[in-house]
Chains A and B, each alone.
Chain A
């Protein structure tokens, strides 16, 4: 398991790995998986939460942007934006996760992978109507008019606040706005071989992601003046995401 290190969201110059048509290519397959305390996270199952509370998730998704392979100071662009939906109500699907297959990757040895969580500021200036229906950014359900921003991630479910077995509080923690975009990098050796598929797991542990988040007092965060809890969520990405081959 390799950690995913959050990067400062500032511009910096890196080299670019060109991909010539006659270069040999392979496939990189990323398996995004939701876990809770290390175990596959199945929606509509209940887990221990802060104190006496119990938590049940009903929807888990996020935008993953600017996927790049890293080689020294150079990068190879893989994918601009992907909506990763981790809402699986059966165990087998939860264990399998969300698969993103990236073909035609230049062969070679890479040092790691970079990606952003959310919608980068340049794309976040646009609106769903600016995109064709094949793009995740065309989804009006992931755009929040009041914020003039895409919804970067959705973590929804119900909480048993009293620990008595009754899920008495619905919650919807949605992140968004440029200030909450996060980019990170994982250092992990990745070898792409000609005609072969390299598999990588990207695990997101929701117990770690919600560490310190007071859902009971802030079950929704749709007011820009009240972002304290969702800021905690995006700042927890670094401790909740791990990579493995």
Chain B
């Protein structure tokens, strides 16, 4: 990563030049003010609504074993190549994007500074993807939340927050295990595994309306499994789940407390948790300690135009 590479990637991230009609940029679906999501249940592309909601990009550089809800991309460089050519998201071709970048009054200089190319013909999709990936890797949050400060021993959590913490990670056997930490483990408050969290009812492994990971791997038992998103800044990332079905955090907690819908590969951690309303409130209080609002205003992530 270089300063010039990150700078170029940030410009490309915010520039609608990647879309066919110059109306949609990466930032359209990944807005800094919403912790790099878009507030929609399904994202808006140039040709309509996409199939799924946008995932937060917070700490995306630390994720591997597949990116996107269904793990279709092995790394950020691959991920960055997909939206421009998605027929709904940006509906452009990389051939055309390359032409636009090569003929642009500024980008050839930016690419030269970032990658040392000696001719505009050296500008291609792979360098563009590398630059965008460099910028994405700078979107880091893991220092300023109340949770992080608590872990570092700088502050105490409030009693309700602390109770929620104990249940989230099942630290105190006298409290119920809220089963959260299996899929949303520290420090990312996510994992690189995939889970069926009981959103879709299916009598067998083959009847999920959205197969998620299974559509990518072709493995039946992966059907209905999705990547758990980070819970950092989740107060800004509503609506929730891959299809945005839950508008509020209490709805999310109620879903997990209920055990969700039945299917053969539903996670073993999904069952009726028998939580009181007070315990649910404590878990919500803990979730809010994961808020780092400085990420939303960090000038390094802002639109450079």
Query: Which residues of A are interface residues toward B (Cβ below 8 A)?
Result: 43-44, 58-59, 87, 89-90, 129, 133, 139-141, 143-146, 156-158, 170-172, 219-220, 222-223, 225-226
A44, A143, A145, A171: which has the most chain B beta carbons within 10 Å?
A145
B188 within 8 A of A: yes
**Chain A interface, >50% SS class:** mixed
Pick the contact of B268: A44, A170, A225 (CB < 8 A).
A170
* CB atoms of A140 and B268 under 8 A apart: no
Q: Which of B31-39, B49-57, B104-112, B169-177 contacts A (4 or more CB under 8 A)?
A: B169-177
State whether A58 and B185 are in contact (beta carbons under 8 Å apart), knowing that A43-B221, A44-B205, A139-B192 are contacts in the complex.
Answer: no
- How many residue pairs at the A-B interface have CB separations less than 8 Å? 70
Q: Kindly provide the distance from the CB of B163 to the nearest chain A CB, expressed in whole angstroms.
A: 14
Contact partners of B177 in chain A: CB under 8 A: 220, 222-223
Query: In the complex, what residue of chain B is closest to A224 when comparing beta carbons?
Result: B173
Size of B's binding interface in residues, CB under 8 A: 30
* CB atoms of B181 and A144 under 8 A apart: yes
Q: Within the assembled complex, what's the spacing in Å between the Cα atoms of A172 and B267?
A: 9
Q: Within the assembled complex, what's the spacing in Å between the Cα atoms of A145 and B189?
A: 11
Query: In the complex, what residue of chain A is closest to B170 when comparing beta carbons?
Result: A222
Q: Within the assembled complex, what's the spacing in Å between the Cα atoms of A89 and B219?
A: 8
Q: Within the assembled complex, what's the spacing in Å between the Cα atoms of A141 and B225?
A: 15
* CB atoms of B265 and A44 under 8 A apart: yes
Q: Residues 149-182 of chain B: 1 if any A CB is under 8 Å from the residue's CB, otherwise 0?
A: 0000000000000000000011101000100011
A59, A90, A158, A222: which has the most chain B beta carbons within 10 Å?
A222
* CB atoms of B205 and A139 under 8 A apart: no
Q: Kindly provide the distance from the CB of B79 to the nearest chain A CB, expressed in whole angstroms.
A: 15
* CB atoms of B173 and A226 under 8 A apart: yes
* CB atoms of B191 and A140 under 8 A apart: yes
B186 within 8 A of A: yes
* CB atoms of B271 and A170 under 8 A apart: yes
Pick the contact of A89: B186, B192, B221 (CB < 8 A).
B221
